[in-house]
Amino acid sequence: MKFIKVLYLATVLSLIPAGTLVAQSTTNHFMHTVTKGQSLYSISSMYNVPIAEIVKLNPGSDERIKVGQALKIPQTGNSGKVIFHTIQPGETLYKLTVRYGVTSQRICQANPGLSAKNFRVGQVIAIPPVVAEKVSEPVIETPTQPQKQEALKPKCRDMHKVKRKETIYSICKEYGITEQELIEANPELKTEKLKKGKFLCIPYPKETTSQKPVVQTPETTQAPTDAELFDKNRKENRKLGTIKAAVVLPFNTDGTGTQDEQIRMVEYYEGFLMAVDSLKKRGVSIDLYTYDSGKSTASVNRILNKPEMKNMDVIFGPAHTEQVTPMADFARRNNIRLVVPFTSKNDDVFNNASIYQINTPQSYLYSEVYEHYLRKFPNANVIFLDAETGHKDKDDFIKGLKEELKNKQITYKELKGESINPDGMKLVVDSLRENVLIPTSGKNVALIKILPQMIVTARQHPNYDMKLFGYPEWQTYTHDHLSSFFELDTYFYSSFYTNNLFPAAIQFTQSYRRWFSKDMANTYPKYGMLGFDTAFFFLQGLHKYGSNFEENMNNMMLTPIQTGFKFERVNNWGGFINRKVFFVHFTKNYELIKMDFE
């Protein structure tokens, strides 16, 4: 295996977080409430449950799920496997250690996103399996007073979302409980009417609770508070002297990759080296190891078997989706951060706390765009333009946006094919409102068909407030359509963007040319800038915050050249995804504005 090793020895080189998951444990299933950006695929990956089993319990969920929807998820955990638990009213971390016979240290280790601040009712946490170990906390005794069990056992065995025409009687009959039991678990029913959409706590029937095993803590022992237990289990902040970082990417030194891939990877690495040099001048010490990953899993495993890899603080890579899992498993076992710069199609992030995924999964990216869109254009007349080019590249985006508009009771209109002309547009444009026109494809061929018709319409009717809204790949078409973008008051969304006229972009481009005697390729994103931004963000953050990097990374006062960073954990036991999205605006005044919604 050929590899490049760049080692700066003894040289001074200058994350509820991801949304609240609400669930209730039962014998066979628990409830999950869909949050922003989640898809059926991500939920199934999160709980390691096949999509078919979720659909079986939730008919119709394969066609559509929406934020706030409650889904039944099969509880697959058993002896020797992780199970999921939802924090109930009155529960504490100490009570969970008693209930499951697992130390608070192991619960905290299994849920790195959990803290005293977000340990609250409704949070879903992973409970690790019981192992043979000496448990010093808590002390568990056999009780002499069975009635104490109620304080240590979940109040609810399920959560029920009230449907239209349901009554207290019908709900009690469905779950086999008495009306008195339901009202005792939901005291508000004494004074409030049963309303559609309300969640009710379904208690255990009284006749079965006494059959459950009874566990209680000694009367003489004062249970520790959540704050005390979390403080006890908090990782000691460890400052990093010399940061050990590895770059593992397909540089094609063995001739197995394509020329285009080689150009992108080399350019990314060149930008990475520029960041290392910049950090060197700021006093950051880094040992940098670089390896050619090739394309296979075997080649990655050979690199991971090198003795120095276990000592890394952070690894950047890989590029190929199939190589993520072995690298992620290695990173988890050795407590190493794994920064995945490119692929977004691997689901390890949902169950591996070591992963930082820079390229946002599609469903999470779209949810951010929809939110920003509705904030920017809350009252606009929306018109979808289908140029009928045969491209369906934005079908999922358009479908999701239409659903968001319907949820907000915003109507929209559509034009197709030959109807996209000045006469057709005149029929759908509102002369008294802001009009946002959205092509259903991001391809250049769609723009070529649509732009001339929009420009003629705008010039014939200067009183129309018309705006064009589109997609990240339009960055690569700017040199073809720049004047049209300005004239049509154009917006597009993106996680990566730089204005080549910005001072930081000009300085970087000039420095890159001096370093490597070439210009960066005209790609989206520019890989040299991506390498610089990624290296600078993580290496500077690790230098500044050490092992407390995760708690502080979104407070870093950095202005990247191209790449936005806003990392959030996908759940309490998983990794981080980057949810940063910009809108780029070409104004009629020939200004180019990068809109940050944070």
* Tokens coding 17: 């977080």
Q: 337 Cβ partners below 8 Å, 6+ apart?
A: 313, 314, 315, 331, 354, 356, 538, 542, 549
Task: Tell me the pLDDT of the chain (598 aa) as tens digits.
Answer: 333 333 332 222 222 333 334 344 445 787 788 888 888 888 998 998 999 999 999 999 988 888 888 888 888 766 668 888 888 888 899 999 988 889 999 999 999 999 988 898 878 889 998 764 444 444 443 333 333 333 345 667 777 888 888 888 888 888 888 888 888 888 888 878 888 878 888 887 775 433 344 344 443 357 788 888 888 888 777 788 899 999 999 998 777 768 889 999 999 999 999 999 999 999 999 999 999 999 899 999 999 999 999 999 999 999 999 999 999 999 999 999 999 999 888 889 999 999 999 998 899 999 999 999 999 999 999 999 999 999 999 999 999 999 999 989 999 999 999 999 999 999 999 999 999 999 999 999 999 999 999 999 999 999 999 999 999 999 889 889 999 999 999 999 999 988 877 888 999 999 999 999 999 998 888 999 999 999 999 999 999 999 899 988 888 878 889 998 999 999 999 999 999 999 999 999 999 998 988 7
Beta-ladder partners of 242: 285
What's residue 2's pLDDT?
Answer: 39
Residue 164 contacts residue 143 (beta carbons within 8 Å): no
How far apart, in Å, are the Cα atoms of 31 and each of 23, 119, 156, 158, 240?
Answer: 4, 18, 11, 7, 41
What's residue 27's pLDDT?
Answer: 52
What's residue 301's pLDDT?
Answer: 96
Could you tell me the domains of the chain?
A: 1-18+239-360+499-574 (3.40.50.2300), 157-211 (3.10.350.10), 364-494 (3.40.50.2300)
What's residue 165's pLDDT?
Answer: 80
Pairing relation of β-strands 465-470 and 285-292?
Answer: unpaired
E strand or H helix at 41 = helix 40-47
Give the whole-angstrom CA distance, residue 324 versus residue 346. Answer: 7
Residue 563 contacts residue 504 (beta carbons within 8 Å): no
Pairing relation of β-strands 337-340 and 314-316?
Answer: parallel
Read off the pTM.
Answer: 0.78
Give the whole-angstrom CA distance, residue 598 versus residue 583. Answer: 12
Q: 381 Cβ partners below 8 Å, 6+ apart?
A: 413, 428, 429, 430, 433, 434, 435, 436
Give the whole-angstrom CA distance, residue 392 versus residue 303. Answer: 40
